Each structure stands twice: as C-alpha cells, then as structure tokens.
C-alpha cells in the first residue's frame, strides 16, 4: 500500500518536473519515396509543436492496406493518422470511420487542392482525407526511338497511334520492346491499368443495375487490343510485370513506351537512376475518340480514424504535411523536383516547379482529365476511375486480374477469360446483394 | 519397465503442453467456426447476420476451388520430393570428411534464415525475371532464349523457391540423424564387404527413417499453409495456375475482408489438412514408434 | 572420428560439397553483393563485383533505426523459444521414455493445431489481442510464437530423445540412481545436442515468422520482419535497399548459426560416443 503511494507520488512528481507530457501520435504510411522524405523532415513539425511526438509505421502498400483496414474495422485504435488511397476514402467515410477534415486551419487553403483529387477524397461535399501526393497515368516514351521509327508523338495520342508506334519501335534483336504495360494479376496492378484503358474503349464494370459487363463487346475490344499489342510489342514475362518491373525495364532502355503512373516520370528522368533520363517525352494517355482517356486517378492521402483519442494533434500533423508550407520546405531542402506532386494547383503555377519538372504540365492535364465521379462513357452506379469503390472490389478485381493475366500469358483465350470474369463477377455481386 | 511412480510423473509432465495447446486449438477454432456461420464483411460491420452454411457453399463453388486444392497438393508433394531427396543427398555429402566443413554447413543451412517474402522477391526479380534476372543472363550467355518462369511454369517456379527455403531444414534434421548412426555399425558393415549402395539401403536409410518421417510431417504442415511466396510472385495467376487453398483464403480474408467466407475456408482447410495428415500417418507414421 | 581418409578422396568430397553449397548459397550471396551496389547497378544485369557503396545502408539506417526492431526480434525469438523449451522438454521426455498407445495420436494432434491457415484467423485473433490489450506488445507476441512453435519443438525433441537408448536408463536405475540423478547425470548430457539443435531451429523459425509479427505490431514491439516490410516494394527501385535491409536482418542469425553450428557438431559427436 505504502509502496504503491510512493510510486504514484513519484510519477506525479516527475510529471510536474517535466511539464506537460508530450502527446505521441502514431502514423501509418506507405514506404514510397515521398513519405520517407516526410519522415526525415519532421523536425520542422516537432519544432513548431514541441508537445507532439511522432511515431512512424512505414509499410509496403499491400501490408499497409491490410493493417489499417483490419485496425479501423475492428476499432483496434493502433493509429492516429492513416495513409490511405482514393479507393478507401469513400468506403470508409460512408461507415463514419473517418473524421471530416473541414477545419485544417486558416492558412490551409483547401480551395487550392486540385478539384479532381478533392472530389475523389470527399463524400457529400465533405473532405475526409487530405491528399499527400496525387497521380494520374500518362504515356512516357523514348524520343530517340520515336525519331528512329519516323514518327512524332502527338500531345494527345489515340490508341491506334500508340499501337502502330509500338510495333514500329520494337526491335527484338537489340532487346527493345515497343511498349511495356502492366500484366501482373492484381486489382492494383493489371486491373488498374486495364480498367482505365477500358474506360476509353467505352467499357464499364457494371451497368446502372450493377450487372457486370464483361460479356459486352467493349470489354472484348479492350482485352483483344491489349493482348495483340503485348504479343507484338511487349516484353517477355509481361504477365508478371507490375509497376516496378516495368520501371526497371524502362530505366534500362528496354521499352519504347510505358503507360503508367505520372510519378514514374520523376524516376525515369532522374539521371542517377535512369540510363535514358535525357531521352524521355510525355504525352496524355491515349483515347479512342469516345470522350474518355485511359488515365487513372490516385491520391495517397492522410486520414484520421474516428476512434482516435488524439484528434487535435493528428489534425495538426495532417495540416502540416499537406500544406503549401510543406511543399516549400521540401523544395528548400531537396529541390523542387522532389516536391510531392499532384495535390495543389498553386504548385503547378509555380515557375520554379515548372522549370524543375518538365512533366509538370502533362501531369496536371492528366489529373484534370480524370473524373472519378463520371469515369466511363456510359453511366455507372459507382465512383472510381481504375477501381470501383465498393468493398468487394479488391477480391473481385484480383480474380479478374488473374484471368486476364492468363489470357496475356497465352494460357486461355480472350473469350474464355471474359466469360470466366463475367461468371465470377455475377457470383460475387449476387452474394454481396447488389444483384437482386 | 518404468515404475508406476515414474509413469504418473510422466503423465504429469505432459500436462502443461497439452493444456496450452488445447486452449490454443480450441479458442481460434471455436471463433472461426462461429464466424463461418455469419455473413460478416469487415468493411460493412453494420450488416452482420446469421448465414447458416452459405459461406461454405460459396467457398467451395468458387471456380478456383478444386484447382486450388490440386495446386496445394502439388506444391506440398513437389517441395517434399525435392527437399527429402535433396536433403538426404546433402546430408550424406556433408557427412563426408571435407575441408571447411563448418563453413559449408552454414552455407547450406543459410536459406532458412531468409524471411519468406524476401526470398520470393529476390528469386522473382533478381534471379528468375526474364528481362534482367540472373537466369536470363545465363540463358542469353549460352545462346538460349530466356525462360519466362512465372508465366510458363508458375507452379514449378513457386515449388522451386519454397524448396530452396526448406532444403536446409530437411538437411539439418537428416544430418543430425545420420551422425547418430553408430560408427562401429558402419565399420562392421564395411568389413562385411557391403558396397556403398547396399550399406546405404540396408543400414543408413532405415536408420534415417524416423528423421525422414519427421521432415515429411512437419514440412507438410508448413507447406499446406504457403501463400506469401505466391502473393509476391504471381498473385495466384496466370489464371488460377498458382492459386492454392491458403491463397484463396487470403483473397477472401484480406482482399475481400469477408470474415465469414474466410472462416469457412479456414475450416475447410483444416478438414482437408486432417485428411492429408491421416493419409500420411498411415503411410509413414509407423516409423515414429520404431 | 578415428577413421583416416586419403587426402585425394577428401579433396574430391570437398570440391563437390563446396560447389553444391555455393549454388545453394548463391541467392543470399547475391543479395549481400547487391546491398553494396547503387540502385542502378542492382538492375544492370549480372555482376558479382559491386562498387562497394554504403549508400543503401545509410539510407536504411536513416529511415528506420535498426537497433529497436533488432532488440525486439531477439527478445521475441529467444523468449518464445525458451518458453517453448521449458514446456516441451518434460512432454517430449515423457513421450519418448514412457510411451503409451496414445503417444503417436497426441503427437499428431499437437501438429494438427498448426493446420489452421493464419490468414483465416486474423480477425478473431486481432479481436482477442485488442480486448486483452496485447496489440503491439512483446509479451503477446512472445506467447503467441511460443504456442505456434510448441508442436514443432515437442516433435523435434521427441525425435532426438528417442535416439537415446533406453538401456542406459535401466542401467542407471539398477545402480540406484534417483530420478533426478538420472535426469541430470545420464540423460541431460545425451540430450544436449538435440536440445541445442531444436533451440537453434526454433529461434530461426521465430525470427522469420512474418505473418503475426507484422500484423499484431505497430511501433513498440515491431521486430525485424516489420523492418524489412518497410523496405520491400515501394514505388521505384529498391533492390539495393531491400538487400541491405535483408542482410542486416539475416546477419545476426547467420552469426548465431555459425557459433551454434560448432556447438552442434561437438554435441553430436559427444552424443554418439556411448
């Protein structure tokens, strides 16, 4: 009893001695370069907020998504700030799992956030996550190989042009593939690319009554076009290539063109990593004249789980990390080229940034041309460009991705793959109660 | 043999293990069973209801279900074949007098030290990638077209990676057993003029029988649950060519967040694993009592 | 061993063994080599001579202080192994030296507790850990890994104990040794190699356990598996950095293996000489 009292007394004494105890918030984030940089710059934040300590959990994308989803859905309460994407935000916000971020401070200037991105992170007009960096997808191509093929890349190419150019640039003898595209099965891998591509072919995942649409000719055109193109001009092993595999191929000079995330531009144009840094050109993702381009929209964003005890500290951190001042901080420490892209209009109006990032304008145009609320030519009941923002999509998308990668690997025909995808989608959607 | 007192004591010594494992088995099993009868999606917690056997029906009518069971068995058998035969060969080799025995042993055991997802990443990209992997470089060097491992032989590629990870385990256990083989017995057999092969078949192999059984049983349990390597390399594709039962459960649990479905899948996996184990016990279990 | 072997034969075996060993070790060797390359070098095709840059290690250390996850790994792996051995040795002992008709069934049943795929029970386990306040705690993880590996430990010990001839026990009993004496003076020395190799194998298993150690930790209890996951597959090139992180994660266990390997061999020859 007495010991107990003494210990208690000591504790309170030390609390007084050290003043107000620092509050510690735990931040879960993905291990991409921009977030890693943020971790190293937190001295700026802690200097301004000496009463807040930051604990980092940095994980690769798939594991991060599992971790934060399990935790928020079971109210595990392990994190105070979570890094999530445009896929999660509408689903979680609907469950009231996230705190709305309507008050991030007077200097925050939420109106400066690129409208397409803000739209993807809002529900009923309320922002539920603050974008840390945003990306769309576009065409990266080798200017030298394009010249050699006797072609000029237009700013806004069609799929027809891309296919023609890819075939002409292909030179198997010197190990140059006309085009590198994602082929690895997965909802965030080949399905992200193919769904965005299908949008420009007039295809959609579901009609207004949630009926899967893989039995429609638009999907057949998309898949057939993709597979023929990859057969003629794609790299070997395409069916297991994701973002990083294609990045490695492109940096080694083995791809003529690569359609992928706009953030890849800063990797392929970085002379320390890339052998082709000075030869890369950029163009908008291709279209088919139907009014939609094959580019997606994604933003890694910071959100605050509704269950946190430290909402105020978390809010301060989110406001700091996604502010204009943070962009300037990165620029002053690491140069404008390393600033997290794709979140604020003002960044793209900054001449210094335009100077440092030759792909800036094309990135902004790509982001602006993607519309998550109206992603397709025909109407759809869902939100999301390269995904469908429903809980069932990750599992279903991966199944469909497996089927499409089999078609790419030549193990099944296009018709078989689509029929199997249709069956899987009907099955899953019936179970989840979308199809009555 | 033993007195009654030591017998009682012996029973008593087993109690802690048995109770711990009993709790450890019953609690998750009961919870899984409970969830397997619920319609429960983690992302839609407001909408939980009793689903009866629906989750089971939904799981086994998955188009990939039967192929995934087949793939599970192929992975287990393939890896067992490579590791047991390779392990015996390696154990015999390492039992020979060699210079630098310690270093050689540690080199052979080392794959076991590598975390499975890292092993898979290293194999996929640095070794087997048809564009810039080492195997492709070798193939090009001798004038062959590089093999597209994960598209052409997805299951074999995964078996290869997993076998590489488990070979050290088999080798270590078998080597330990080999070294307890009586040197005098060996010499006596040698004196009798028994050839190397006949010595191996009649003396060494029977001596290692129990160790081989242990390797088979323990590895089978681990191999029935392989999924990290698949996730990193092929994501179950192309098609369902490399989807096994645990991957199917992973897809249900951590991509679909379908707790009910994943629980049903887990129960199905336990039942199937028990069948495999029963079969194995029939086949090799007698060796344990020898 | 007393047998003398002609140097020629020994040389032949040596070459064969080294070739095989290096082939098996190659992926790890290549990982270590790659950790001393720059990211561009790492994807530039086969090359066994790195430029020797320490850039990757600097990057890794500046992103994630190695010491904390390393200590967590040591505590969790060693703690769970010792706990498992404490519980398993008596059980394996009794099964090996006074077996009954049920022994085989019990052994099999113990192994069967490992049959439930971890992914299927993630949510139930997460709920239990949450309710007991064990999320992100070293104690929770240590106990969990102990339970996960307990069947393997019992199995391996049982196998090794069975190798100890029962006649020795009887001889000791005839000499009037007490049970305690029997254990301390007769059995323990013979059991040491088996226990040592079980210890080593189980530490490795616990060290590499990459499902629960990642899913049930955040910052305080995160071991080296979580350390590695923070370097695998980001957007962009990561081979050199992942290789450096992997090398750091493997190194301690490689060193441990190196020492216990010598220990192991000595123990084994001791055990075989009756």
pLDDT above 80 for A235 = yes
Can you spell out the DSSP letters for B29-61?
Answer: HHHHHHHHTEE-BTT-TT--EE-TTHHHHHHHT
Q: Rounded to whole angstroms, what are the CA distances from A140 to A151, A156, A181, A246? A: 15, 12, 11, 12
pTM of the model: 0.88
B269 vs C116: CB contact, 8 Å cut-off? yes
Chain B: residue whose CA lies nearest to A400: B239
Interface of B with C in 6-45 (CB under 8 A): 6-7, 9-11, 13-14, 16-18, 20-21, 24-25, 27-29, 31-32, 35, 42
Q: Which residues of B106-144 are buried (b: 16+ CB within 10 A; e: fewer)?
A: bbbbbbbbbbbbbbbbbbbbbbbbbbbbbbbeeeeeeee
C142 contacts: CB under 8 Å, gap ≥ 6:
C75, C76, C79, C80, C83
Tell me the domain boundaries of chain B. 37-288
B111 vs C87: CB contact, 8 Å cut-off? no
Q: Which of A405, A420, A425 would best serve as a mutation to test chain B binding (most B beta carbons within 10 A)?
A: A405
The span from the CA of A130 to the CA of C271, in Å, is 65
The span from the CA of A300 to the CA of A375, in Å, is 19
Residues of C in contact with B126 (CB under 8 A): 27, 30-31, 34, 239
Confidence of residue A28 (pLDDT cuts 50, 70, 90): very high
Confidence of residue C136 (pLDDT cuts 50, 70, 90): very high
pLDDT of res. B8: 78
Choose the weakest-confidence range: B108-122, B135-149, C2-16, C243-257.
C2-16
Confidence of residue C76 (pLDDT cuts 50, 70, 90): very high
For residue A22, give the DSSP letter: P
Can you spell out the DSSP letters for C11-62?
Answer: HHHHHHHHHHHHHHHHHHHHHHHHHTS-HHHHTSS--S------HHHHHHHH
Which helix (DSSP H) or strand (DSSP E) does residue A25 occupy? Answer: strand A23-30
Residue C173 domain-assigned (yes or no): yes
Q: pLDDT, tens digit, for every residue of B260-289?
A: 999 999 999 999 998 988 888 888 777 776
Q: Rounded to whole angstroms, what are the CA distances from A342 to A113, A299, A328? A: 9, 8, 15
Neighbours, chain B (3 or more CB pairs < 8 A): A, C
The span from the CA of A342 to the CA of A366, in Å, is 10
Asked whether the beta carbons of A109 and A219 are under 8 A apart, the reply is: no
Q: How far is A402 from chain B (nearest CA, A)?
A: 5
Task: Give backbone dihedrals phi and psi of C215, rounded to 5 degrees, phi first.
Answer: -75, -25
Q: pLDDT, tens digit, for every residue of C187-209?
A: 777 777 778 878 888 898 899 89
B236 vs A402: CB contact, 8 Å cut-off? yes
| Residue B255 forms contact with A (CB below 8 Å) | yes
Chain C: residue whose CA lies nearest to B139: C46
Q: Using alpha carbons only, give the angle A405, A406, A407 rounded to the nearest 5 degrees.
A: 90
The span from the CA of A324 to the CA of C62, in Å, is 25
The span from the CA of C66 to the CA of A370, in Å, is 41
First to last CA, chain B: 17
The span from the CA of C43 to the CA of B181, in Å, is 47
pLDDT above 90 for C85 = yes
Quick one: tokens of A415? 């018709």
pLDDT of res. A182: 95
CB-closest option in B124, B131, B235 to A402: B235
Neighbours, chain C (3 or more CB pairs < 8 A): A, B
Quick one: tokens of C29? 């060797």
Could you tell me what percent of chain B has a pLDDT over 70?
95
First to last CA, chain C: 14
Confidence of residue B182 (pLDDT cuts 50, 70, 90): low
Find the mean pLDDT for residues C117-126.
89
Q: How far is C207 from chain A (nearest CA, A)?
A: 19
Q: Rounded to whole angstroms, what are the CA distances from A110 to A102, A119, B183? A: 9, 12, 80
Confidence of residue C267 (pLDDT cuts 50, 70, 90): very low
Could you tell me what percent of chain C has a pLDDT over 90?
32
Average pLDDT, chain A: 90
Q: How far is B150 from chain C (nearest CA, A)?
A: 18
CB-closest option in C43, C135, C214 to A63: C214
Can you spell out the DSSP letters for A240-296?
Answer: G--HHHHHHHHHTT-EEEEEEETTHHHHHT-TTT-TTGGGEEEEEPPB-SSS-BS--
Confidence of residue C229 (pLDDT cuts 50, 70, 90): confident
Find the mean pLDDT for residues A298-302.
95
Quick one: tokens of A128? 């539920």
| Residue B287 forms contact with C (CB below 8 Å) | no
The span from the CA of A352 to the CA of A341, in Å, is 14
Find the mean pLDDT for residues B25-49.
88
Q: How far is A72 from chain C (nearest CA, A)?
A: 11
Residue C154 domain-assigned (yes or no): yes
The span from the CA of C94 to the CA of C158, in Å, is 9
Whose tokens are 């199944």? That residue is A399
Confidence of residue C262 (pLDDT cuts 50, 70, 90): low
The span from the CA of B242 to the CA of B150, in Å, is 9
**Residues of chain C whose C-beta is under 8 A from some C-beta in A?**
38-40, 43-44, 62-64, 122-123, 126-127, 130, 135-136, 214-215, 218-219, 222, 226, 229-238
Task: Give backbone dihedrals phi and psi of A299, rounded to 5 degrees, phi first.
Answer: -140, 125
Residues pairing with A122 in the sheet: A127
Q: Furthest-apart CA pair in chain C: how many Å?
A: 72
pLDDT above 90 for C74 = yes
CB-closest option in C91, C117, C127 to B13: C91
B43 vs A391: CB contact, 8 Å cut-off? yes
Residue C11 domain-assigned (yes or no): no
Choose the weakest-confidence range: A272-286, B134-148, B170-184, C170-184.
C170-184
Q: What domain range is C78 assigned to? A: 64-272
Residues of A in contact with B235 (CB under 8 A): 184-186, 189, 398, 401-402, 405
Long-range contacts of C85-90 (CB under 8 A, 24+ apart): C85/C153, C85/C157, C85/C195, C85/C198, C85/C199, C85/C202, C87/B16, C87/B17, C87/B20, C87/C146, C87/C150, C88/B17, C88/C150, C88/C153, C88/C154, C88/C157, C89/C157, C89/C195, C90/B13, C90/B14, C90/B16, C90/B17
pLDDT above 90 for A127 = yes
For residue B254, give the DSSP letter: I
Q: How far is B90 from chain C (nearest CA, A)?
A: 8
The span from the CA of A162 to the CA of A370, in Å, is 20
Looking at the structure of chain C, the number of domains it has is 1
The span from the CA of C90 to the CA of A27, in Å, is 45
Count the neighbouring beta carbons within 10 Å of the beta carbon of residue A69.
23
Find the mean pLDDT for residues A142-166.
95
Higher pLDDT, A414 or B15: A414
Q: pLDDT, tens digit, for every residue of A402-416?
A: 999 999 999 899 999
Residues of C in contact with A133 (CB under 8 A): none
Q: pLDDT, tens digit, for every residue of B46-80?
A: 778 888 888 899 888 888 899 999 999 999 999 99
pLDDT of res. C2: 45
Q: Rounded to whole angstroms, what are the CA distances from A265 to A273, A276, B131? A: 12, 12, 21
In this structure, what is the dihedral angle of CA atoms C180, C182, C184, C188, given to the nearest 10 degrees? Answer: -140
pLDDT of res. C263: 60
Which helix (DSSP H) or strand (DSSP E) does residue A69 occupy? Answer: helix A61-73
Structural domains in chain A, CATH included, are 18-135+297-356 (3.40.190.10), 136-296+373-431 (3.40.190.10)
Choose the weakest-confidence range: A6-20, A278-292, B59-73, B84-98.
A6-20
A235 vs B131: CB contact, 8 Å cut-off? yes
pLDDT above 80 for A201 = yes
Asked whether the beta carbons of A85 and A61 are under 8 A apart, the reply is: no
pLDDT of res. A321: 95
Residues of B in contact with C109 (CB under 8 A): 21
Provide CATH code, domain B37-288: 1.10.3720.10
Q: What is the ipTM of this complex?
A: 0.85
Neighbours, chain A (3 or more CB pairs < 8 A): B, C
The span from the CA of B199 to the CA of B157, in Å, is 35
CATH number, domain with residue C171 = 1.10.3720.10
């Amino acid at each position: 009893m007495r010991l107990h009292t003494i210990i208690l007394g000591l504790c309170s004494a030390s609390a007084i001695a050290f003043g107000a105890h620092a509050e510690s918030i735990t931040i879960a984030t993905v291990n991409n370069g921009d977030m890693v940089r943020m971790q190293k710059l937190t001295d700026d934040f802690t200097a301004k907020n000496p009463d807040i300590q930051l604990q980092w959990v940095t994980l690769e994308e798939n594991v991060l998504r599992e971790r934060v989803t399990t935790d928020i859905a079971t109210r595990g309460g392990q994190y105070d700030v979570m890094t999530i994407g445009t896929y999660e935000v509408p689903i979680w916000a609907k469950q009231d799992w996230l705190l709305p971020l309507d008050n991030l401070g007077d200097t925050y200037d939420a109106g400066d956030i690129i409208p397409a991105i803000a739209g993807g992170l809002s529900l009923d007009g309320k922002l539920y996550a603050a974008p840390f960096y945003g990306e769309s997808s576009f065409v990266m191509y080798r200017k030298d190989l394009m010249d050699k093929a006797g072609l000029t890349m237009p700013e806004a190419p069609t799929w027809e042009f891309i296919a023609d150019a890819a075939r002409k640039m292909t030179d198997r003898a010197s190990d140059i593939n006309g085009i590198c595209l994602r082929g690895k099965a997965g909802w965030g891998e080949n399905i992200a690319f193919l769904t965005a591509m299908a949008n420009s072919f007039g295809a959609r995942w579901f009609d207004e009554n949630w009926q899967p649409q893989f039995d429609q000719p638009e999907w057949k055109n998309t898949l057939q076009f993709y597979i023929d193109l990859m057969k003629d001009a794609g790299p070997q092993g395409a069916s297991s290539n994701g973002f990083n595999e294609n990045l490695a191929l492109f940096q080694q000079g083995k791809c003529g063109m690569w359609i992928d995330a706009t953030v890849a531009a800063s990797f392929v144009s970085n002379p320390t990593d890339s052998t082709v840094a000075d030869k890369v050109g950029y163009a908008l993702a291709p279209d088919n004249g139907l009014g939609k381009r094959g580019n997606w929209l994604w933003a890694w964003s910071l959100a605050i789980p509704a269950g946190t005890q430290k909402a105020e500290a978390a809010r301060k951190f989110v406001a700091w990390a996604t502010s204009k001042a943070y962009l300037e901080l990165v620029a002053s420490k690491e140069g404008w080229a390393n600033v997290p892209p794709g979140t604020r209009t003002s960044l793209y109006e900054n001449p210094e940034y335009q100077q440092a990032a030759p792909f800036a304008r094309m990135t902004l145009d790509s982001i602006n041309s993607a519309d998550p609320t109206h992603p397709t030519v025909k109407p759809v009941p869902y939100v999301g460009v390269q995904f469908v923002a429903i809980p069932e999509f990750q599992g279903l998308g991966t199944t469909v991705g497996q089927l499409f990668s089999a078609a790419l690997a030549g193990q099944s025909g296009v018709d078989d793959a689509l029929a199997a995808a249709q069956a899987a989608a009907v099955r899953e959607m019936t179970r989840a109660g979308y199809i009555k | 043999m033993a007195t009654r007192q030591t017998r009682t004591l012996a029973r008593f010594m087993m109690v802690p293990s048995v109770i711990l494992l009993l709790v450890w088995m019953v609690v998750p099993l009961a919870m899984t069973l409970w969830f397997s009868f619920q319609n429960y999606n983690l992302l839609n917690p407001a909408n939980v209801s009793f689903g009866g056997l629906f989750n089971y029906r939904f799981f086994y009518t998955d188009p990939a279900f039967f192929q995934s069971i087949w793939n599970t068995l192929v992975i287990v058998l393939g890896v067992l074949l490579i590791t047991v035969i390779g392990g015996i060969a390696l154990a015999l080799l390492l039992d020979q007098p060699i210079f630098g025995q310690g270093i050689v042993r540690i080199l052979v055991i080392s794959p076991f030290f590598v975390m499975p997802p890292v092993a898979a990443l290293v194999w996929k990209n640095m070794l087997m990638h048809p564009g810039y992997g080492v195997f492709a470089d070798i193939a090009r060097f001798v004038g062959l077209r590089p093999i597209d491992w994960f598209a052409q032989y997805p299951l074999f590629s995964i078996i290869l990676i997993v076998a590489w990870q488990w070979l050290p385990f088999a080798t270590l256990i078998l080597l330990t057993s080999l070294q307890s083989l009586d040197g005098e017995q060996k010499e006596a057999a040698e004196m009798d003029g028994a050839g190397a092969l006949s010595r191996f078949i009649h003396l060494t192999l029977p001596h290692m029988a129990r160790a081989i059984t242990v390797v088979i049983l323990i590895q089978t349990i681990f191999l029935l649950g392989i999924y990290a390597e698949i996730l990193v390399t092929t994501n179950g594709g192309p098609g369902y060519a490399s989807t096994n039962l645990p991957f199917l459960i992973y897809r249900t649990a951590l991509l679909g967040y379908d707790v009910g479905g994943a629980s049903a899948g887990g129960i199905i996996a336990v039942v199937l694993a028990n069948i495999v184990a029963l079969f194995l016990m029939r086949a090799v279990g007698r060796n344990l009592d020898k | 061993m007393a047998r003398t072997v002609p140097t020629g034969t020994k040389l032949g075996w040596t070459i064969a063994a080294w070739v095989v060993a290096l082939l098996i070790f190659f992926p790890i060797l290549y990982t270590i080599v790659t950790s001393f390359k720059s990211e561009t070098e790492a994807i530039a095709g086969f090359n066994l001579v790195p430029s020797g840059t320490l850039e990757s290690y600097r990057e890794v250390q500046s992103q994630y202080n190695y010491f904390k996850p390393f200590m967590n790994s040591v505590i969790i792996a060693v703690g769970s192994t010792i706990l498992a051995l404490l519980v398993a040795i008596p059980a394996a002992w009794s099964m090996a030296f006074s077996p009954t008709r049920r022994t085989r069934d019990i052994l099999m049943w113990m192994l069967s507790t490992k049959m439930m795929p971890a992914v299927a029970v993630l949510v139930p386990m997460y709920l239990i850990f949450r309710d007991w306040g064990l999320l992100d705690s070293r104690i929770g993880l240590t106990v969990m890994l102990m339970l996960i590996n307990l069947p393997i430990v019992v199995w391996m010990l049982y196998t090794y104990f069975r190798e100890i001839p029962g006649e020795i026990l009887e001889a000791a009993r005839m000499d009037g040794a007490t049970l305690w004496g029997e254990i301390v003076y007769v059995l323990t020395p013979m059991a040491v190699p088996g226990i040592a190799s079980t210890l080593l194998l189980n530490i490795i298993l616990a060290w590499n356990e990459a499902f629960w150690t990642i899913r049930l930790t955040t910052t305080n209890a995160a071991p080296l598996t979580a350390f590695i996951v923070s370097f695998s597959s980001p957007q962009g090139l990561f081979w050199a950095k992942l290789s450096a992180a992997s090398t750091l994660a493997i190194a301690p266990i490689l060193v441990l293996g190196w020492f216990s390997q010598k220990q192991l061999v000595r123990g084994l020859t001791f055990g075989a000489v009756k």
